[in-house]
Structure 1
Amino acid sequence: MSGSAAAVLDALGDRTRRSIFEKLADGPIAVGVLAEQLPVSRPAVSQHLRVLREAGLVVETAAGTRRLYRVNPAGLAAVRSYLDRFWETALDNFALLAEAEAHRQGGSSS
């Protein structure tokens, strides 16, 4: 597994970070607004956002005195590639199984 895929999976392994990430999927949000929506303190939200940012899952921008956070779609590319590998293998194995079953059924009717 690539380092970036591991960092993303590790970052999303925490329930609070997953919740923050899901809230950001609706659009950019300030730290204070996130903290109001979660059962953790504002400093804790900031720490979770730092982990998500370091994993490449979120980016921050300045809007006056506020910092807005939003999902970084590029951050999901590494983990998507990692998971797609398993999906492709599963599909290949299913196709082989289906072919073998079709061959077996075709051979028994002769």
Structure 2
Amino acid sequence: MVECLYAPQRVLHEVTTQADVHDDVLYVNGLPKGAPLPRWVKPELLPAIQVPTLLIHGRDDRVVSFETSLYLLANIPDSRLVLLNRCGHWAMIEHADEFNRLVADFIANN
């Protein structure tokens, strides 16, 4: 079995096992079972967000599927999504330079 640098199987197993024991998530209709939102997120309030919002998500995230970010993108009015290829759950670590550039550019222009 080949381990990917961005999502090692042992880390995946630990994270998904831990995620299974938490009951503090809300599964949103239309998202796969693996795409929860924390219970404190009230989907009906997302359209009321009045500030520019940057969403950065790893395409290969096995903890939270990128469909969750697509849901947020569709429901937050002034939002932008950057989906990073060959990136798992830790975009800020796995693609640190690109992540930092995206955040700095977003802050500078908003």
TM range (shorter): under 0.3
TM-score (norm: length of structure 1): 0.26
TM-score (norm: length of structure 2): 0.26
Q: Tell me which protein shows more helix as a share of its residues.
A: 1
Q: For the pair shown, which has the larger CA radius of gyration, 1 or 2?
A: 1
